[in-house]
Amino acid sequence: MTTLPLQDASTDVSPRKISRKATGADAVFVHSIRVVGATVLVITGGVGVFLGWQALPTLRHYGFGFFTESAWQPEADVIGIAAVLTGTVCVALVAMSIAFPLALLTALYISEYAPARIKSLLVSMVDLMAAVPSIIWGLWGYFLVMPHAAELSVWLDRNLGWIPVFDVHGADPNAPSVDISRYSFSMFCAGIAVAMMVLPMSCAVMRQVFSQTPPGEKEAALALGATKWGMIRSVVLPFGRGGIIGGTMLGMGRALGETIAVLLIISPSFEVKGRVLEIGGNTVSSLIAGRFGDASKSQLSALLAAGFVLFLITLLVNTLAAVIVNRSRSGAGTDA
């Protein structure tokens, strides 16, 4: 019987070193992705630096009064963005108050209730809403939505006018012949059009988060006797809380910067007000689009300064949304 020779104890049997360095096609892919990511950051930073540099003359000339003054009268050397900042926030809040429940309910229906044979069709239809140009939404809001929105505004003023936000100054909603023009071209009408533009983005984020809910937890809730809605309320919604908040804030970031639809619908005015139903208002983006063509050098600097403020606000909102989504429990513990 043949015996195998014993290995010398002095022989070095250290483990083979494994290199994690990408080679070949993997190396090309890794470096390409890094270049693309760095390019996006450089472009975003470049936009911010450019706007900040162009805004310096305006900020030096007007100081803090640039943020507190509501009038925009370049010929009188009186310029401020208090009114347009207020209008920007009001339009965005109106849009999100409409888009949020629609996006949430649509995402829940697609992920939990829709039959499998039409689920992909519904996803495609909602996503295609994001491909509709802004000017189309603006025309839709101007010709189709505004007449009905003005009538709704009259009803809101008549029944909820005791709430300041629904009050229309100088209008009598109970008069035999209501002046409907005082309820048209308002921030409320513009907010409806913007809501349809931000809905697909918010819905996509929420739907993706809901689809990652661990099936085991859903089945356990149903096995314990929960109804379909009870399972959604106790499992799906708590699991997707971060996605709901993140999707809403991403939609808010989009609503803050919407331009063409607001420019087509709203009647420009420079007055700080929170009454969203009455005619008039303005936003930073529509101000820039409407005044950019015939702006003088000093007015152009003021417009870029307003754009810089909007850039910082939007960047902050989107960054907070990304942080919330990344810190949420979404995807944790999902069964393979």
The CATH number for 177's domain is 1.10.3720.10
Q: Distance between CA 300 and CA 306 in Å, rounded?
A: 10
Q: What is the dihedral of CA 301, 306, 310, 315, to 10 degrees?
A: 40
Query: Tokens 């390019």 correspond to what residue?
Result: 39
What would the two tokens of residue 46 be? 């470049």
**How many domains are contained in the chain?**
1
Residues forming beta bridges with residue 279, ordered by sequence position = 186
pLDDT tens-digit series, residues 142-185: 999 998 998 899 899 888 888 888 888 877 788 778 888 888 89
Distance CA 262, CA 268 (A): 10
> How is residue 311 written in tokens?
């850039």
The pLDDT value recorded for residue 2 is 56
State yes or no: pLDDT of 128 exceeds 60. Answer: yes
**CA 114: distance to chain centroid?**
25
User: How crowded is residue 304: how many other Cβ atoms within 10 Å of its Cβ?
Assistant: 23
Q: pLDDT value at position 336? A: 37
pLDDT of res. 13: 65
**Is 29 domain-assigned?**
no
3-class DSSP assignment, residue 186: strand
pTM value?
0.84
Is 71 inside a domain boundary?
A: no
Q: Evaluate whether residue 4 is within a structural domain.
A: no
| Residue 28 located in a structural domain | no
pLDDT of residue 334: 44
Q: Does the CA dihedral 59-61-67-72 come out positive or negative?
A: negative
Q: What are 209-249's pLDDT values in tens digits?
A: 898 888 888 889 888 888 888 999 999 998 888 888 888 98
In a domain, 265, yes or no: yes
Q: What does DSSP say about strands 72-73 and 78-79: parallel, antiparallel, or unpaired?
A: antiparallel
How large is the greatest C-alpha to C-alpha distance in the chain, in angstroms? 116
Residue 122 lies in a domain: yes
Q: Considering the domain boundaries, does residue 233 fall inside one?
A: yes
Residue 14 has pLDDT above 60, yes or no: yes
* Selection from 96, 107, 132 nearest residue 317 by Cα: 96
Q: Which two tokens stand for residue 188?
A: 């409320």
* Domain membership flag for residue 201: yes
Domain interval for residue 182: 82-296+322-327
